[in-house]
Amino acid sequence: MFIEVFVEGGSDVPTIREILTRRFHLKEYRDFKIHPHRGKGKLPNSPYTRIDPKNRTLLHQLPAKLRAYANFSDDYCVIVLVDADNDDCILLKQSLVALHNELLHKPRCVLFRIAVEEIESWFIAEPNAILRAYPKAKISKINGISPDSIIGAWEHLAIVLNKNPSHCNGYDKKIWAEKISPRLDLNNPKSPSLYFFIQGVDRIINSHPV
């Protein structure tokens, strides 16, 4: 089996790589490949709408990419991870499933997962992981925040790390992910959406042994 993972951007890559390598003992490029995009974007009105090649956002390109993977062998599985942001996660998941159902040609193995609110929420849910990566972090700034709360997770994380959110960019978020992800508890994750992501990957691997 080979897993193709679609994510919104480069800052998501270190976390997904960490999960697949540390939790599932997979090897990048042998067992999986992660495909970052240029943001979330929006689903086209029709899954057969011609895509704009200049629009490199995940949701815009998703229908075309799913159609393309229909031609791959059954040993391929596609995982799509999308940030909920301010969207209703249930409605977002339903729209992704509806898209998949509309396609006449599609890969047999597809997993849709939502990061609630965003991948940085997975870090906010584990203050100890942040503190181990950044001993000077102001953890008190996130005390009492329930896991996967819609709070502006990456902005809160920036403040915890003594950064001004308006001065941060995708490169900063990637560095945070590279440092914090190795400290996350992937056996008993505190973030519900991280738990469901791991659970989904586990189900795929058990049904399609690598």
- What digits encode the pLDDT tens for the residues 56-111? 999 999 999 999 999 888 889 999 999 999 999 999 999 999 999 999 999 989 99
What are the structure tokens assigned to 28, written together? 């990048």
148 exposure class (CB count in 10 Å sphere: 0-12, 13-18, 19+)? buried
Cα 89 to Cα 162: distance, rounded to the nearest angstrom: 30
- What digits encode the pLDDT tens for the residues 117-168? 999 999 999 999 999 999 999 999 999 999 999 999 999 999 999 999 999 9
List strands edge to edge, sheet with 2-7: 32-36, 2-7, 76-83, 109-115
Nearest to residue 33, comparing CAs of 2, 61, 68? 2
Buried b (16+ CB within 10 A) or exposed e, 7-36: bbbbbbbbbbbbbbeeebebeeeebbebeb
What are the structure tokens assigned to 189, written together? 């994750």
What are the structure tokens assigned to 23, written together? 């939790």
pTM for this predicted structure: 0.95
Cα 133 to Cα 114: distance, rounded to the nearest angstrom: 25
What are the structure tokens assigned to 159, written together? 């403040």
